[in-house]
Amino acid sequence: MAEYRLDAVPEAVTNVFSRELPAVLTVDPGDTVVVHSLDASGHLERQRTPGEVRPRMFGGRPGHCLAGPIAVRGAEPGMALAVHLESLRPDDWGWTVAAAADTPLSRRLGLADADPSWLLWELDADAGTGTNQYGHTVSLAPFLGVIGMPPAEPGEHSTIPPRAFGGGNIDCRELVAGSTFFLPVTVPDALLCVGDGHAAQGDGEVSGTAVECGMTTRLTLDLRTAPPVPTAHAVTPAGRITFGFDEDLNEASAEALYAMLTWMMSLYGLDRAAALALASAAVDLRVTQVANRVWGVHALLPDGAVR
């Protein structure tokens, strides 16, 4: 199997999903790619003070700065792309901002008219810590906020909302090193894009940003012809995970749980009602994120929860 390097240079990045974008790299199933992605905003230079305006890859245009697209030979709709995340190493700085946009949540929290508040983080990947300008230190658990493929429809599509088919801006903090993320292939050759490094994040990404940073990710790509779940799902160090996304939190929760029940039916030879009864004893529902125009919920079946 081959190994490739992909850096965030102007000819190898995008801030939209589109099946019409040419691939910047083509690999075979089983190949490994070491990707360096910029932070979500595409900063070309680090901030020296919190919130400082610095040059960006795409100027002021919206959309995450993503590396790709990466084509995977033989990928076709009906398959699942397996993205095995072998290692993730954040760059040496990151940022977080709150109250930067007028959203229903910011209004509910009394921040509709507030000035944005910025944290500038010094990141020590070896020590696994991040420290902001106030001296607060958090433990790092790096992951990529965006791992996704373009929708099947032609044209340019926003990188902001997550999608059950094709993935995208999932923002699930469980997708750390050692995880394998399975995505339904939406277009021939997959055309995978990755980025939006998060050095640390709580469930929910409640301010709308995590510890945003550049990231070096080593990942191996493979294909599955008979995935156990038709929507995005993952095997992580914490356990098995399924996802739901919707403007209604109840529907997002139901989508995540429905997918988990499908998986449990296969794992344990149960009908759906029996799987639901078992899930009530073993499965956790967590709010993945509240930041991306739709609610994200993930269902977690921890390793060892059912023996």
User: Which residue ranges form the domains of the chain, and what is each CATH number?
Assistant: 3-224 (2.60.120.580), 233-302 (3.10.28.20)
pTM reported for the whole predicted model: 0.95
pLDDT at 292 over 90: no
| Mean model confidence pLDDT for the chain | 96
For 107-118, what is the mean pLDDT? Answer: 92
pLDDT tens per residue across span 248-279: 999 999 999 999 999 999 999 999 999 999 99
pLDDT level of residue 63 (50, 70, 90 thresholds): very high
For 39-54, what is the mean pLDDT? Answer: 96
More confident residue, 146 or 114: 146
The number of helix segments (H) and strand segments (E) in the chain equals 3, 19
Environment class of 49 (CB within 10 Å of its CB; exposed 0-12, middle 13-18, buried 19+): exposed
Residue 122 β-bridge partners: 93, 131
Q: Are 201 and 171 in contact (CB under 8 A)?
A: yes
Q: Are 233 and 258 in contact (CB under 8 A)?
A: no
pLDDT level of residue 59 (50, 70, 90 thresholds): confident
pLDDT tens per residue across span 1-28: 899 999 999 999 999 999 999 999 999 9
For the record, the structure tokens of 14 come out as 């995008």
One DSSP character per residue, 183-248 reads: EE--STT--EEEEEEES---TB-TTS--SEEEEEEEEEEEEESS-SSSS-EEEETTEEEEEEEESS
Q: Are 172 and 143 in contact (CB under 8 A)?
A: yes
pLDDT computed for residue 60 by the predictor: 75
Distance separating alpha carbons of residues 222 and 224, to the nearest angstrom: 7
| 202 three-class SS | coil
